[in-house]
Structure 1
Amino acid sequence: MEQQDRRRFAVILAAGDGKRMGSDRPKVLCEVLFKPMLRWVEDACRAAGIDELYIIAGDQQDLLEQAVSPGCRFFRQPERRGTGHAVMMASEAFAQGGDLLVLNGDAPFVSPQAINAAYAEHLSQGCAVTLMTAKLEDPSGYGRILRGEDGRVLAIVEQKDATPEQLQIKEVNPGAYWFRTEFLRDALPRLTCQNAQGEYYLTDTVGLASADGLRVGGCAAPDPDTALGANDRRALQQLNECARRRIIQQHLDNGVDIPFSDGIVIGPEVEIAHDAVILPGTILRGKTRIGAHAVIGPNSYLVDSQVGEGSHINASYLTDSTVGRGSSVGPFSQLRPNSHLGDGVKLGDFVEIKNSTVGDKTSVAHLTYIGDSDVGAYCNFGCGVVTANYDGNQKYRTTIGDRAFIGCNTNLVPPVTVGEGAYTAAGTTIDEDVPAGALAIGRVHQQIKEGWSDEKIAFKKDAKK
């Protein structure tokens, strides 16, 4: 088999519980920028071209299955007896041979570039084991990499066992490896748990390979953050802050204007075009897309939404929705899932849109709820309009034609249609279709009863005594 044709697959170690996180969920499900650490690692593998993935799970495998792609396969580790023991659980996956990548599910910053660079060295040097190492200014807490004069990795020395000279070494072991499965199948049964923790350590395979006269390589990742992981909430906060800074820097480099980063959080899958402005207090999540010259914020929250070129979202919430070009939303408005605004739409303060389409140049100035509706272009909504779309059993749609004018405090009781260019008078309840070009008036006729309040209202009577 040609080297470039060798099978590549990965095992991700994810059996740890969340006790040190203070969580009742597996540790790898703790999130960095709204994305589980485990999913960061899976995505890095897939971006590196590795699609055969095995995950070592603990007691809550069902939760891990929900967090990753359907193609991932699982092995269970019933007892947590070390990293070597965890890899043993996946031994049946080694039968077809090839090269195995082992990663920790709580180290989210491993990159596809580092994975492939280490694999290239693994092949070119003919290594039985290749470590993906990192060079840290402060290597405290990590095992140090000992190399020979020829550059080969001789051993990994844990900090507690290192000499003063070895403690000066900056290259460390983050716990990521490439193995030839032929070697690993032979090495795993030779691991022992004769150590203070009573565990089987995957790091011991390095010594076994050296003792067998096999080459052990070490490929230093260009990004030292590759080594970062999290065992508690403090470390998780550091990962989030590190990822937040990195992503903001990427967007700055791409021409996005972020004048102040206070309170700004941008997820790893968000896309922002050049000359967009992101103001303080803005949170962008999921597959959100922001067009060029748009202004988002301050204090806006967008999830899986698209905002067109030149639009402005001010202190508002958008979820699974789209906003066209040159539109404005807010302040204090909300687009709930499946809401779609056309170009040049204006939503003012305290407007809520749900599962509706709003056509180009329509204005909804303030204090209005539009739910389950199809609204045309160039419409105008007065203050306090409500679509009463739910009767307690079913939801119904409202249809409003182009250039309709919906007066203040109009209640629309669907299923109902307001025709093109039709008007509704202020205070009207619409429960029948309004023809195009018509005026609908559905309010009660005003009556005046002279002296009624003087006679009926108690406090006014008392005031006269």
Structure 2
Amino acid sequence: MSCEKLNTILLGGRRSRDGKYPVQREILFSPVGRIVADALPDACELVYVRQESETELEGIPSIVCPDDADFTEMLRAAVEKLDGDVMVLSTPMPDAEQEEYERVIRMHRQSKNAVSMLTCGAMADTWHCAVFQMHVLKKILDSHPMSLTESIRIAESISAKTESCRTEAHVAVYTAYDAYCAQKILQRRINAELMGKGISMLDPEYTYVSPYAQIGYGTTILPGTMIKPGSWIGCGCTIGPNTILDCASIGDETSVNSSQVYESKVGAHATVGPFAYIRPGCEVGNHTRIGDFVELKKAHIGDNTKVSHLTYIGDAEVGERVNFGCGTVIVNYDGYTKSKTVIGDDCFIGCNTNLVAPVELGDRVLTAAGTTVTKNVPDGAMAVARARQENKEGWNDRRRRMHGQKD
């Protein structure tokens, strides 16, 4: 195919009752408009003309029709200063593949047609993609067509040379239900491709992987897992069940079970979950354990560190081979500012320890269970900060008798 650029216009459609344009609807966590744009051949150069009345559609290169505009107005504004041929795509079809667009472009350039169309499905008079010679398109617009299909009918009425090639039926996205139907097609296509590359899925129907995610060989994805754009998963991992990864990086041979990881990195040979919550800005090392009901936020966790359960670590730098006891809390917020905590290597943090930031613990520090640390602790020390126990003999028996209970 010629490397000459082809002006391409993606019509985003009109706003639906729920206030969304078709190009804004999400499929596998990305806007339809983005998926369509990325499926176009390299020869296509998207044209984007913003109208004064247009709703902001950041990052979606398409032309939408506001309530006070029509098809002809929008198309005429887009092609006004263009040269050469132009390809127009009507309501987005996110399940259409690059080869299909290439087919109609190749036919148009080889046959020198005035208009070349891509016919989808069994209906011969319904088109969702057409390539126009510019002078023919401008002449058609003088007749004020209200849709792409009407534009092609006008071309035929003025005896312009037209030709079409047929492809399988695709889902044109207008409503939320259309987006769901298109998503099922893409979901099956993506999951089948991944399984063909050595990735296992226990139940592909309940596994949702963005086309903008990467997964390594030998990884197993369990049901209920959502892998969102920007996520990277290494080889030999186990992800799920019921897990969300969003812009997350997961190292080789790591498992993430019933947990959520956002904009963070987890190293190799680590375990996360169940029910762990890793918030943005975290970096978790190799051979680590992030256990049940653990929450991390802007935390750097060193290699071989274990945070087994019921612990919050925020705005902290934690060394290697540290063990956190159950119920540890890093108290990083005083209601006005968030402060940092630093923990050295080989520390043992006892159960129910509070580390009140800003505070630093050296290497090989031990905190006794129930301790609240408010001052720095030097290397090799033990920190104890709790009231001395006192037993009051008979106190609770007397209390029970006051309330009519027997000893």
TM-score normalised per structure 2: 0.92
State the alpha-carbon separation in 1 of the partners of residues 4 and 67 from structure 2.
31
Match of 1:179 among 110, 116, 132: 132
- Give the match for residue 16 of structure 2: 18
Q: Aligned to 1:372, what secondary structure does the other structure show?
A: strand
State the alpha-carbon separation in 1 of the partners of residues 359 and 210 from structure 2.
41
Q: 2:266, 2:284 within 8 Å by CA — same for their partners in 1?
A: yes
Match of 2:101 among 106, 115, 118: 115
Does residue 88 of the first structure (1) align with residue 88 of the second (2)?
Answer: no
- Give the match for residue 165 of structure 1: none
Alpha-carbon deviation of 1:31? Answer: 1.3
State the alpha-carbon separation in 2 of the partners of residues 59 and 17 from structure 1.
13
- Give the match for residue 317 of structure 1: 260
Match of 1:54 among 48, 53, 59: 48
Output aligned runs, 1:30-109, within 5 Å: 30-45=25-40, 48-54=42-48, 61-62=55-56, 64=57, 66-68=58-60, 72=61, 77=66, 79=68, 81=70, 83-92=71-80, 95-109=81-95
Q: 1:36, 1:67 within 8 Å by CA — same for their partners in 2?
A: no
Alpha-carbon deviation of 1:182? Answer: 2.0
Q: 1:130, 1:178 within 8 Å by CA — same for their partners in 2?
A: yes
State the alpha-carbon separation in 1 of the partners of residues 232 and 152 from structure 2.
46
List per-residue Cα deviations over 1:390-439 (Å, max 9, x = no partner): 00001011111111111111100111111111111111111111111111
Q: Which range moved further: 120-129 or 183-192?
A: 183-192
Q: 1:15, 1:56 within 8 Å by CA — same for their partners in 2?
A: no
Output aligned runs, 1:293-372, within 5 Å: 293-372=236-315
Match of 1:381 among 324, 329, 339: 324
Q: 1:295, 1:313 within 8 Å by CA — same for their partners in 2?
A: yes
Counterpart AA for 1:12: L
- Give the match for residue 441 of structure 1: 384
Q: Aligned to 1:176, what secondary structure does the other structure show?
A: strand
Q: Aligned to 1:268, what secondary structure does the other structure show?
A: coil
State the alpha-carbon separation in 2 of the partners of residues 84 and 60 from structure 1.
15
Query: Which runs of no fewer than 5 residues in structure 1 stay unpaired?
Result: 145-155, 157-172, 193-199
Match of 1:286 among 193, 211, 229: 229
**Distance of aligned partners of 1:58 and 1:44 in 2 relative to their CA distance in 1, 3 Å threshold:** farther
Alpha-carbon deviation of 1:73? Answer: 7.6
Counterpart AA for 2:286: D
Question: How many residue pairs end up in the alignment?
Answer: 407
Output aligned runs, 1:412-451, within 5 Å: 412-451=355-394
Q: 2:228, 2:247 within 8 Å by CA — same for their partners in 1?
A: yes
Q: 1:255, 1:274 within 8 Å by CA — same for their partners in 2?
A: yes
State the alpha-carbon separation in 2 of the partners of residues 230 and 447 from structure 1.
71
State the alpha-carbon separation in 2 of the partners of residues 366 and 204 from structure 1.
63
Alpha-carbon deviation of 1:207? Answer: 4.2
State the alpha-carbon separation in 1 of the partners of residues 263 and 369 from structure 2.
32
- Give the match for residue 181 of structure 2: 238
State the alpha-carbon separation in 2 of the partners of residues 414 and 349 from structure 1.
24
State the alpha-carbon separation in 2 of the partners of residues 120 and 44 from structure 1.
16
- Give the match for residue 161 of structure 2: 215
The two structures, once aligned, show a CA RMSD in angstroms of 2.4
List per-residue Cα deviations over 1:24-52 (Å, max 9, x = no partner): 2223312111212122222224x534344
**Distance of aligned partners of 1:432 and 1:332 in 2 relative to their CA distance in 1, 3 Å threshold:** same
TM-score normalised per structure 1: 0.81
Q: 2:250, 2:268 within 8 Å by CA — same for their partners in 1?
A: yes
List per-residue Cα deviations over 1:280-312 (Å, max 9, x = no partner): 111111111111110001111111101111001
Does residue 203 of the first structure (1) align with residue 187 of the second (2)?
Answer: no
Q: 1:273, 1:292 within 8 Å by CA — same for their partners in 2?
A: yes
List per-residue Cα deviations over 1:367-406 (Å, max 9, x = no partner): 1111111111111111110000000001011111111111
List per-residue Cα deviations over 1:151-185 (Å, max 9, x = no partner): xxxxx3xxxxxxxxxxxxxxxx3411111112212
Q: Aligned to 1:130, what secondary structure does the other structure show?
A: strand
Alpha-carbon deviation of 1:58? Answer: 9.8
Q: Aligned to 1:248, what secondary structure does the other structure show?
A: helix
**Distance of aligned partners of 1:234 and 1:205 in 2 relative to their CA distance in 1, 3 Å threshold:** closer
Counterpart AA for 1:303: D
Q: 2:248, 2:263 within 8 Å by CA — same for their partners in 1?
A: yes
**Distance of aligned partners of 1:370 and 1:203 in 2 relative to their CA distance in 1, 3 Å threshold:** same
Q: 2:15, 2:21 within 8 Å by CA — same for their partners in 1?
A: yes
**Distance of aligned partners of 1:262 and 1:98 in 2 relative to their CA distance in 1, 3 Å threshold:** closer
Does residue 463 of the first structure (1) align with residue 391 of the second (2)?
Answer: no
Counterpart AA for 2:68: E
State the alpha-carbon separation in 2 of the partners of residues 312 and 10 from structure 1.
44
Alpha-carbon deviation of 1:203? Answer: 2.7
Q: 1:56, 1:77 within 8 Å by CA — same for their partners in 2?
A: no
Q: 2:4, 2:43 within 8 Å by CA — same for their partners in 1?
A: no
**Distance of aligned partners of 1:298 and 1:417 in 2 relative to their CA distance in 1, 3 Å threshold:** same
Alpha-carbon deviation of 1:112? Answer: 2.9
- Give the match for residue 116 of structure 2: 130
Q: 1:14, 1:58 within 8 Å by CA — same for their partners in 2?
A: no
Paired-residue identity, %: 31
Alpha-carbon deviation of 1:314? Answer: 0.8
Alpha-carbon deviation of 1:91? Answer: 3.7
Query: Which runs of no fewer than 5 residues in structure 2 stay unpaired?
Result: none
Counterpart AA for 2:138: R
Q: 1:324, 1:341 within 8 Å by CA — same for their partners in 2?
A: yes
